[in-house]
Amino acid sequence: MAWVKYSLRRIFYLFFVLIGLTIIVFFLTRAIPSNPAAMYVGPLARPEQVEAAERHLGLDRPLLIQYGIYVQGLVKGDLGISMQTRRPVAQDIVRFLPNSLELIAMSILLSIIVGVPLGALAAQKKDGLLDHGSRFISIAGVSIPAFWLALLLQILFVRNLELLPVGGRISMNISLLFPVDKVTGFLLLDSLITGNMIAFRDMLRHSIMPVLTLAAYPIGMFARMTRSSMLEVLGQDYIRTAKAYGINLAVKFRKPGYYLDILPEASDLIGSGQQYLNAHTLGFHKECNLNEYQAVFGGLLANAFLKGLSQV
């Protein structure tokens, strides 16, 4: 029952975190000079149309009343209307959430496949060429900003090599000729379920650069933490005793049971990587500016809520 009390306490704290987040973001967006009503009606709108939009959106009311109306809508599950797409923000979140979750899953999988063995091999070859190369990759992965790495990948794979598409989830011609039937809402999974391999391969090509960009930091973090944990294990008495008796440790490294020694660190490792990827992929309000405060609120609240649940 202790874990139930702990989980309930964390959920209780999460409630106040979300309240604090709504207050901070709401008043910060209002403090920045912008005119959401002008964006709502378009660039060619007349002044009287902008004023009508302000009344419709409630922007002519005092800030406290605006905040109260927004919180009242949140209680009912209403996150407002996006001024860019003119759809409910909750609907946009549901629309973009599967794509974000697919990117998170692929990035974490790639990070584990690359980062953990890289850190383990570096620990076995401490101070060797492989170890130095692993540390260089780790430092580069955690140091390079994601947006800059994304630009480099676009220059390399799109402009110079012309191997990958520059953006989008699926090519326009593929989506028209080979549409993906919606089953779960996850396009990659749906294409596999329905046997639409042409669309599946095309979406994989579109996912390569985003996944590489998102996985760079977790790969470096996984490699560094795995190396540190493995070196700690290699310093244990039973390892030194095994070496003294001439036991081949290379065989031991290949046994799955050996990696049970680093499982406590592995759970923290995956949790940290998941939180990082959440922060960089759950941008449901993509391409929005500061006038898109409803989408900003919705994306931040969804991100904070998922982060909070991951720590319960």
Calpha distance 180→196 (Å, rounded) = 7
Residue at 244 is within a domain: yes
- Distance between the two ends of the chain, CA-based, in angstroms? 14
What CA–CA distances, in Å, run from 92 to 169, 209, 240? 15, 23, 57
pLDDT per position as a tens digit, 50-94:
888 888 777 788 888 888 887 887 777 777 777 677 777 778 777
Q: Residue 156's closest CA among 79, 218, 208, 87?
A: 208
Does 36 share its domain with 149?
no
Tally of domains within the chain: 2
Contact 90, 201 (CB under 8 A): no
Q: Residue 200's closest CA among 215, 185, 214, 190?
A: 190
- The pLDDT, as a whole number, for residue 271 is 54
- The pLDDT, as a whole number, for residue 204 is 92
- pLDDT of 311 above 80: no
Residue at 196 is within a domain: yes
Residue at 223 is within a domain: yes
Instruction: Write the secondary structure of 76-111 as one string of H (helix), E (strand) and C (coil).
Output: CCCCCECCCCCCEHHHHHHHHHHHHHHHHHHHHHHH
- pLDDT of 101 above 90: no
148 CA to centre of own chain: 17
> Which CATH number characterizes residue 129's domain?
1.10.3720
Residue at 59 is within a domain: yes
Does 50 share its domain with 6?
yes
Residue at 90 is within a domain: no
Calpha distance 216→212 (Å, rounded) = 6
Does 256 share its domain with 306?
no
Does 292 share its domain with 269?
no
- Secondary structure class of 291 (helix, strand, coil): coil
Residue at 92 is within a domain: no
Scan for tokens 């890289």, then name that residue. Answer: 118
Does 49 share its domain with 127?
no
Pairwise pLDDT comparison (174 vs 284), residue with the higher score:
174
Residue at 91 is within a domain: no
In this prediction, residues 259-279 reach a mean pLDDT of 51
Does 192 share its domain with 71?
no
Predicted TM-score (pTM) of this structure: 0.72
pLDDT per position as a tens digit, 136-193:
988 888 888 888 998 999 999 988 988 898 878 888 898 888 998 888 888 888 998 9
Does 187 share its domain with 268?
yes
Contact 276, 218 (CB under 8 A): yes
Tell me the one-letter amino acid at 193: I
Calpha distance 184→196 (Å, rounded) = 14
Does 182 share its domain with 250?
yes
pLDDT per position as a tens digit, 235-253:
777 777 777 777 666 555 5
Contact 291, 36 (CB under 8 A): yes
Contact 265, 60 (CB under 8 A): no
Q: Residue 189's closest CA among 65, 67, 101, 68?
A: 101
Does 272 share its domain with 292?
no
- The pLDDT, as a whole number, for residue 291 is 53
- Give the helix/strand (H/E) hosting 295: helix 293-310
Q: Is the dihedral of CA 167, 211, 86, 19 positive or negative?
A: negative
- Range of 312's domain? 1-84+287-312
Residue at 77 is within a domain: yes
In this prediction, residues 97-113 reach a mean pLDDT of 86
Does 74 share its domain with 184?
no
Does 192 share its domain with 108?
yes
Question: What are the structure tokens assigned to 280, written together?
Answer: 């960089």
Does 156 share its domain with 183?
yes
Contact 175, 191 (CB under 8 A): no
